[in-house]
A and B are shown apart, each in its own frame.
Chain A
Amino acid sequence: QQQVKQSPQSLIVQKGGISIINCAYENTAFDYFPWYQQFPGKGPALLIAIRPDVSEKKEGRFTISFNKSAKQFSLHIMDSQPGDSATYFCAAEGDSNYQLIWGAGTKLIIKP
């Protein structure tokens, strides 16, 4: 029940296209859902985060869509750029556990 399932494992998108990464969770006590971006040799960096009281959050080219009833959330990267090529992780936290439960990661490659 503590798992966060992330798909796809890898993704290739043309420059200017839309990149979509999906995550699903089971624990309804989770109340915080961040997305992190990680470049090789660096630690993860927060990209955008959402709480269950909203269904969508947008920051620049990045949008989180949240479906509470389906227990799913997704990251959309609009107008994808080569500089967006990185590994993306979804995560979830809550249930008084105070630890991030991570998805397995998606390696995104944006082709110029």
Chain B
Amino acid sequence: KAGVTQTPRYLIKTRGQQVTLSCSPISGHRSVSWYQQTPGQGLQFLFEYFSETQRNKGNFPGRFSGRQFSNSRSEMNVSTLELGDSALYLCASRQQTGSETQYFGPGTRLLVL
């Protein structure tokens, strides 16, 4: 089976712009979670989607949003980008929601100038 794929892998944006990141989960996985990774804050949970419904959301401002499609693919959007949004954004998938192994993609490296 193919692993979790994320596109694009690298992205450079300027402050105030918006960005959309895409994640394709492992075939058969219905849950997709998004994490932000920075050197200062480590790995932080953004949100999880299961069967097109947001199941849980972390402590991020409303500028961070996401959605999941019927084929389980997911997108996250960040509007009005700030310098502090520069990070590695990781997507993870698993078959069900709950305490199960999450499989991570390679991430999208976002740089905000």
B42 contacts partner chain A, Cβ-Cβ < 8 Å: yes
Among the listed A32, A98, A105, which residue makes an inter-chain contact with B56, where contact means beta carbons less than 8 Å apart? A98
B64 contacts partner chain A, Cβ-Cβ < 8 Å: no
B101:A104 contact, CB within 8 angstroms: no
Q: Known contacts A100-B45, A105-B42; is A46 also within 8 Å of B106 by CB?
A: no
Total of A-B residue pairs, C-beta within 8 Å = 53
Which B residues are CB-close (under 8 A) to A99? 33, 45, 48, 56, 58
Among the listed B44, B45, B90, B99, which residue makes an inter-chain contact with A43, where contact means beta carbons less than 8 Å apart? B90
B56:A46 contact, CB within 8 angstroms: no
Which B residues are CB-close (under 8 A) to A89? 43
User: Which chain A residue shows the least CB distance to B99?
Assistant: A32
The CA-CA distance from A45 to B45 in the complex, in Å, is: 16
B25 contacts partner chain A, Cβ-Cβ < 8 Å: no
Give chain A nearest CB distance to B92 CB in angstroms: 8
Which B residues are CB-close (under 8 A) to A100? 33, 35, 43, 45, 102
B97 contacts partner chain A, Cβ-Cβ < 8 Å: yes
Q: Known contacts A93-B99, A104-B42, A105-B42; is A98 also within 8 Å of B55 by CB?
A: yes
The CA-CA distance from A49 to B102 in the complex, in Å, is: 11
The proximity string for B residues 48-83 relative to A, scoring 1 for CB distances below 8 Å and 0 otherwise, is: 100000011010000000000000000000000000
Which B residues are CB-close (under 8 A) to A41? 106
Which A residues are CB-close (under 8 A) to B101? 34, 46, 49
With most chain B CB atoms within 10 A of its CB, the pick from A89, A98, A102, A103 is A98
A102:B43 contact, CB within 8 angstroms: yes
The CA-CA distance from A55 to B43 in the complex, in Å, is: 26
Give chain A nearest CB distance to B78 CB in angstroms: 19
Among the listed B92, B99, B100, B106, which residue makes an inter-chain contact with A42, where contact means beta carbons less than 8 Å apart? B106
The interface of chain B, by Cβ under 8 A from chain A, is 4, 33, 35, 42-45, 48, 55-56, 58, 90, 92, 97-107
Task: Report 6 cross-chain contacts, Cβ distance below 8 Å, ordered by A residue.
Answer: A43-B92, A46-B101, A94-B99, A99-B33, A102-B42, A104-B42
